[in-house]
Amino acid sequence: MGLFGFGKAPAKPLRLLAQDAEDLPAISALVQDAALRMADIAYDPAGRSVTLQMSRFCHEKAGAVPLRAPSVLRISDVTGVKTRGLDTKQKTLPLSLLDIAAEPLEAPAFALTLRFAGAADRDMRIEVECLDVLLLDLAPPRRAKMLPDHAL
């Protein structure tokens, strides 16, 4: 039941974990067109993690009303991070995440590439000891102000 017993029950927030290369495409598809700012990306070398706080566009909710969900993407077991085409000092820089790709290194290590809209070479390479990627919606989706519109 919805609010005060009317309407549909609210959708359950997503909680997905990728621990092998076959799991990652599902998470990549779900975070496509996520909106964030450079300040929403946190690298914790001591905790060996990278966390992205984002407004995830809900592609899985087909319909006339575009939705976004406040979400967190956490990448664990991080051994190194490199950026290309991103000014990490420009904290208000708006970003739109396009996809996440995994390149196998010496097993069980991987290099994850997070590609952002804009310039052709606008990405973040995150090397991990093993795959441990968590996507977590923090609240139910809300109406989006606009549809994603970006250059590839």
Tokens of 2: 């919805």
Higher per-residue confidence, 95 vs 119: 95
pLDDT for the residue 143: 84
> 65: pLDDT confidence band, cut at 50, 70 and 90?
confident
Distance, in Å, from the CA atom of 25 to the CA atom of 18, rounded to the nearest integer, reads: 9
Query: What pLDDT is stored for residue 5 in this prediction?
Result: 46
Contact 68, 141 (CB under 8 A): yes
Q: Which residues contact 42 (CB under 8 A, 6 or more apart)?
A: 50, 51, 52, 53
Q: Give percent helix, percent strand, percent coil of the chain, each to the nearest 5.
A: 10, 45, 45
In angstroms, the CA 74 to CA 70 distance is 14
- pTM for this prediction: 0.86
**Averaged over 86-112, what is the pLDDT?**
94
Mean pLDDT, residues 55-80: 89
Cβ-based neighbour number of residue 130 at 10 Å: 12
> Does residue 61 carry a pLDDT above 90?
no
